[in-house]
Amino acid sequence: MHGKGEEGQEGEDESEDKLEDYPWLLFDEDLRTNPNMSVVEFRTLVRKYYSIDVTRDQCYKAKNLAKERIQGSIEEQYSKLWDYCDELKRQNPGSTVLVKTSLRGDNLVFERLYIYVLLN
């Protein structure tokens, strides 16, 4: 699925990612289907489809940026957890959803999630 990235369109906000600035966007689909792709595999894809050599560090950074673009940042994912729990309880009255967290300094740290769904 190489080359499936979308180029920026005229009139887009300047903060939008543009293909010429971020060529790894072409590999979003590869990373979606294989999120655990190694840096070596990613580097091989770049070499194969673009005939250019890039460093391991460049691939590592590019892979992580593409992965974050696909999955969202850890903070974004964590913030959705509470909405997910509320929706589970709303859609399944009588169910139990518990999120265990602890304080580390001033930060709340996720430990585990317990879900008991009561099917009606």
Section 47-59 average pLDDT: 83
Regarding whether 61 and 2 lie in a shared domain, the answer is: yes
Regarding whether 55 and 8 lie in a shared domain, the answer is: yes
With tokens 């509470």, the residue in question is 82
Contact present, 82 and 99 (Cβ < 8 Å): yes
Regarding whether 60 and 13 lie in a shared domain, the answer is: yes
Alpha helix (H) residue ranges in the chain: 28-33, 39-50, 56-71, 74-91
Last residue of a domain, one of 37, 55, 72: 72
Rounded distance between C-alpha atoms, residue 62 and residue 42, angstroms: 9
The confidence band for 4, taking pLDDT boundaries of 50, 70 and 90, is very low
Regarding whether 84 and 61 lie in a shared domain, the answer is: no
Regarding whether 56 and 26 lie in a shared domain, the answer is: yes
pTM of the complete model: 0.46
The residue range of the domain holding 95 is 74-116
